[in-house]
Amino acid sequence: MTKTIFNIPGLDCPAEEKLIRNKLQKMKGIEKLEFNFIRQEMQITHSFQETTSIEESIADIGMKAIVKKENSALGNKRNISYKNWLLIAISGVLALAAEIYSYTTGQEQSYIVLAMALSAIALSGIPTIKKSLFAIRTFTLNINFLMMIAVIGAFIIGEWPEAAMVMVLFALAEFIERYSLDRVRHAIENLIKMAPNEAISKENTSDSWQIKPVSEIKLGHIILVKPGDHIPLDGVVTQGQTTVNQASITGESMPVEKKEGDILYAGTFNERGSVEFKVTALAGHTLLAKIIHKVEEAQAERALTQRFVDQFAKFYTPITVLIAILIAVLPPLILGVPFYPWIYKALVLLVIACPCALVISTPVTIVSGLAAAAKLGILIKGGVYLEIGRSLKMLALDKTGTLTQGKPEVTDIIKMDGYTETMILQIAASLDTYSEHPIAHAIVNDWNMKNPSATLLNIGQFEALPGRGVTGFINGERLYLGNHQLAEDNKVCTPTIEAQLERLEQEGKTTIILSNERKVMGILAVADTLRSSSKEAVKALHELGITTVMLTGDNVITANAIAKSIGIDQVEANMLPEEKLTAIDELLKQYKYVGMVGDGINDAPALAKSSIGFAMGNTGTDTALETADVVLMEDNLNKLPTFIELSRKTYRKLVQNISFAIAIKIVFFALALVGISTLWMAVFADMGASLIVVFNGLRLLKFKNPRLLQLTPKASDACCGHSPGEYLKPSQLTEKANDKCCDHSPVETLKPFQSIEKPADTCCDHSR
């Protein structure tokens, strides 16, 4: 079987979908049809060698199918020309004039009224008439068919101005609906446009710079990006330093400093400084391209509410049509009342019966939510995950690489017997220079970071002591650097040293002891440090009513220490990958929906088993990223509560839209039965409801990350020229300090967020 995607201009509503289904689903060789209103696409699973027969079949019902090319633009833009609007305006004037003339003269069926009504219908209703004829040919009940029946019925019973107004309002509403759906398409198209089509590049350092299309640039090529330019491809900085605004990819609110060795993402904005970088991903394979692909792919994964509405619409329309027929026929036949009022009521019911508002609101809302998430650096692989995220009550988190950075850092240096912290760190880094152990790297990196211009000491007779540490001579003295066991073997441990070691180990830290042959000179503690977002994210999850559990392969002491420091509710330690999977199974028995957050291959089984798997976008392995349902870019755990809040808001929009659409129909059913509503009012209500629910769904595109408010400092006094309690925007922090609060001198210019880095007191609501 082959899958082919077709672009179909005009595929906006279940009316067009039903026409195509009725035409194609009987064809031999077609196995499956999938429709995407937002993208105006249809995917067909078939066994044909060529698609000509499919294209001809769709042409038979007045539509056009174009085989989608790889990397083609999103959907088909349907720009409505001034001519279209002019025709609608003229037809509207004619329909209104017919209404006014018939009302003021009482001659509703005069030739003047007839001429104006027919002219209005001809100018505005040709597309509807064509679609209704195709609907009749295929025995399809859709909105075009219902509108045509209503117009013909109105003419038969002499309501000519009403018939004209129905057609004009319907055509106008369709035009406005096209515009509203284009808003959703453009939200995704804007992501595509973020990356430029050309770049200044060269193949190697000896070549000259050339402007080339990004499609011609190869892996390893060097690209030059100037200040104010967008970055065209993913890569690694090889020369230069700059500040990049990468909010479009990671959702970060502040620009990020980039230097040699740092990663750049296509579509991000270079604010200052020229940089050169080596290309690591080709066009179509960048992180931006993957995000766009996943957002598009996710829309086809219909959410639970969307599936329900689709099934509901299948039964709803035929039932309401049957009711309309019974209303038109039974009262006159049984009660002997005139046919006219009951036929009119039936026509109103036919118009209001179309489920467009119900069906179109769900995909618009879901895609708006997916696009909003992508802009915040949350990549969701299906609308179903966006919807069920609101139901999460339990979230399991891996420790290493998820809650923590996944790499050890020096956390404590305890000095003894006159040795300073700098001396202890210098000696330890000198001894560890030749070691490949991760803890040794952490000590050397800490020295280099704190003392970038200082040199290390010369080591004589260096020797590795397997399983215990290292030893060597410095200035003629033998020194040892190693674990607790090495200190015991050298008989340098004392009760004081033991107490210090026990305290540090209870905090989940690994201890390294520096000693000579007589005594301990100092103790260093190394630990896998927490991510800056971990504690705040866990707190926010608790505020949202979500219980947290840590699933880790690390030891119980370290796991408990980490969990306690950030507020994790439960801890499961010493777990193998299959045990994490079993733990998720057990949690699913207690909770209907369980989320799992991880980054490694060992987390993949648990990610796959959970209701929603979350992977860390930067540090996550390929296996974890492919298995997960949601990817958190920039490894920011604050995106977890943001996802939950977006999911809940999306669900509220869905409920609002469905409730409103159904309520409008119920109200007009009642009004039609008592003879209050008119045909044009029914059209206005039906199409108006469609537009309202679409625009309500589009509001999700403006969803902001509420977690960012917690990074916005709040002035507690009049420091920095702001009133107490005033929230400060990033732009407001780039100004001059009025006094020395926040460790800044008077009239010193502050960079964004600089004033929350080293506060000297509790101004700006931050402690020292």
Q: What residues act catalytically?
A: 398
SS3 396: strand
| CA gyration radius, the chain | 34
Rounded Cα distance between 656 and 530, Å, is 40
Whether the Cβ atoms of residue 433 and residue 446 lie closer than 8 Å to each other: no
Rounded Cα distance between 248 and 228, Å, is 15
Contacts of 346 (CB under 8 A, 6+ apart): 153, 324, 325, 327, 328
In this structure, the dihedral spanned by the alpha carbons of residues 435, 441, 444 and 445, taken in order and rounded to 10 degrees, is 160
Tokens of 706: 């509420």
Element at 375 (helix H, strand E): helix 356-375
Label the pairing between strands 404-415 and 198-202. unpaired
Q: How far is CA 682 from the centre of its chain?
A: 37
SS3 342: helix
CA distances from 324 to 6, 163, 344 (A): 36, 18, 10
Tokens of 674: 């008592």
Contacts of 510 (CB under 8 A, 6+ apart): 408, 439, 525, 526, 527
Number of residues assigned to the chain: 768
DSSP 714: B
The residue with tokens 């991000």 is: 268
Identity of the amino acid at 722: H
Element at 1 (helix H, strand E): none
In this structure, the dihedral spanned by the alpha carbons of residues 413, 417, 419 and 420, taken in order and rounded to 10 degrees, is 60
> Which ranges in 547-576 belong to alpha helices (H)?
556-566
CA distances from 399 to 362, 393, 503, 575, 634 (A): 37, 19, 21, 11, 17
Whether the Cβ atoms of residue 212 and residue 199 lie closer than 8 Å to each other: yes
Rounded Cα distance between 161 and 110, Å, is 11
Rounded Cα distance between 369 and 531, Å, is 27
**Crossing angle, helix 556-566 and helix 495-506, to 10 degrees?**
60
